[in-house]
Amino acid sequence: MGEQVVAIIGRPNVGKSTLFNRLVGENRAVVDDTPGITRDRIYAEVEWRGRRFWLVDTAGLMEGIDDPLQVSIQRQVREAMAEADLILLVLDWRAGVLPADVDAARQVRRSGKPYLLVANKVDDFSQWQPGELFRLGLGEPLPVSAIHGLNSGDILDEILLKLPVQAGEAGEEETEVPRVALVGRPNVGKSSLLNRLLGVERVVVSDLPGTTRDAIDTRFSLGERNYVFIDTAGIRRQARVRGTVAYYGQLRSWRSILRANEVLLLLDATEGVTEQDKRIGGFIKEAGKGTILVVNKWDLVEKDSRTADAYRQEIYRQLYFLDYARCIFVSALTGQRVSNLLDLIDETYAQASHRIPTAELNRFLQEAVALQPTGEGPRQWKFFYGTQVGVLPPTFVLYGNNPEAVHFSYKRYLENKLREGYGFAGTPLRLIFRAKRGLKNPRLFKNEHGTKGDAGVTDRSSEIGGADARSLDRELALARSYEVPTSNLQRPTSAFSPDA
């Protein structure tokens, strides 16, 4: 049973109980248009995507109350906030920002707890404009219509992204069944490819870009092999879709990458690699997902015996930061090579799930370091030992002195040696360099956040997809970013910023 608590708060009559009932999936709280119906905290356990947490409904938040009953009720609200691991601050979008909302936002910030700002009563998404809600200083609001259920699944997804995964919480599917997201620009053939893979028309297919508006999960079994495929909406440039229904469909597409442990990035063979393909590829790299580059519409290309090699070289030149990814040329229309995709998916998943025993890993790393030492002198990095701390993607922590002194080229050398020795085809690797604990006078260093901690990670994305709980906040920030800058693609490592 999940022990994490999510508290719903807000001023009276913004729809907290309606949202509570919607997320719980049954009418657990009394709902009425009269303010003040809810008095006590109401608890219900919620299960979503194999994870569980407690959801708490509270009374309307008010300040400056003298009535003894209301004082007691407000104490219940404060206690709910105090015990919560995450706070949902709910506002009535139709009413706009009222002074009571400003007071509630102030209390949320004062609590120091993680939070989500939820704009309720957005019954027509075509009219959605966040506008003045930004002045609360709580970031981007999440629109929802609790009474109609619009976007309620997205709220649950956001909750999971904010709540750290607890030990033993993930279910069997989370660890044993590949979750494969099909992503790409609009009209590259994602739904057509999925239908071809499944052998049945599971999703709507049209020549019009944007037919798919939501992320659709499909379970698929072939003998003893089981998969969950996630078909997604085409990802456009941000400026063209913000504030529309398509915008929220694409936001779910970004988050589907985070939910998946393997990604098929579809490219249009007739158009080549575009700037948007690079942005999507950069996001996949940062998220640490196993990757297969699927070049679709291969039947439309005039070719000879050298065409495929020339295409492959150009693709890797453009998407050099995905040089570990597999590449396959297919036609969803004719079925050409589509059957080979399942084998590639299995191989990539196995590579990304591979663990190296600690003793064997240390022998291998000692030999690699001896073959090419980092140099001499007190400021040089000296390797002591290493361990693999995670899979999907494979993540390694290497302990030594002066971790900040490890040059990028040497990190790349060690990564290449690991690939030579163990394959890891189709998956990124995370190398994290840490100061060895127990040194008498360990050098202090600062990480990219300006605090004492790890240094010398392969790139800024080392936290993503790993065991560090901070990765959840980072992933959420990435999921909300559409404009992954391409100016940094000239650097030898990927450096995609969610704030650019």
- Eight-class DSSP state of 376: S
Query: Domain for residue 480, yes or no?
Result: no
Nearest to 248 by CA among 213, 199, 277: 213
Out of 141, 162, 183, a domain closes at 162
Measure the CA–CA gap between 230 and 214, rounded to whole angstroms: 10
Same domain membership, residue 181 and residue 327: yes
Measure the CA–CA gap between 428 and 430, rounded to whole angstroms: 7
Same domain membership, residue 348 and residue 362: no
Query: Domain for residue 469, yes or no?
Result: no
What is the full per-residue pLDDT of the chain (500 aa) written as tens digits?
346 889 999 999 898 988 998 898 865 444 445 454 445 567 777 888 878 888 888 888 877 666 776 777 777 788 888 888 999 999 999 889 999 999 999 999 999 899 999 999 998 888 888 888 888 888 889 999 998 888 888 899 899 988 876 655 544 444 468 999 999 998 898 888 988 988 854 434 444 444 444 456 677 888 888 888 887 776 776 545 554 555 556 666 777 888 899 999 999 999 999 999 999 999 999 889 999 999 999 999 998 999 999 999 999 999 999 999 999 999 999 999 999 999 999 999 999 999 999 999 999 999 999 999 876 666 788 899 999 999 999 999 999 988 888 888 999 999 999 999 999 999 999 999 988 755 443 343 333 333 333 333 333 333 333 333 344 444 444 444 433 333 333 332 332 322 32
Q: Show the tokens assigned to 394.
A: 């494979």
CA atoms within 13 A on the CB side of 436: 14
- Collapse the DSSP code of 154 into the 3-class scheme (helix H, G, I; strand E, B; otherwise coil) and give the result: helix
Out of 135, 162, 189, a domain closes at 162
Query: Domain for residue 484, yes or no?
Result: no
Same domain membership, residue 218 and residue 78: no
Same domain membership, residue 334 and residue 366: no
Same domain membership, residue 334 and residue 371: no
Same domain membership, residue 329 and residue 181: yes
Same domain membership, residue 346 and residue 255: yes
Same domain membership, residue 148 and residue 88: yes
* pTM score of the predicted model: 0.56
Query: Domain for residue 384, yes or no?
Result: yes
Q: Containing domain of residue 411, as a range? A: 358-390+394-464
Query: Domain for residue 140, yes or no?
Result: yes
Same domain membership, residue 108 and residue 46: yes
Number of domains in the chain: 3
Same domain membership, residue 337 and residue 261: yes
Residue 46: give its domain's CATH number: 3.40.50.300
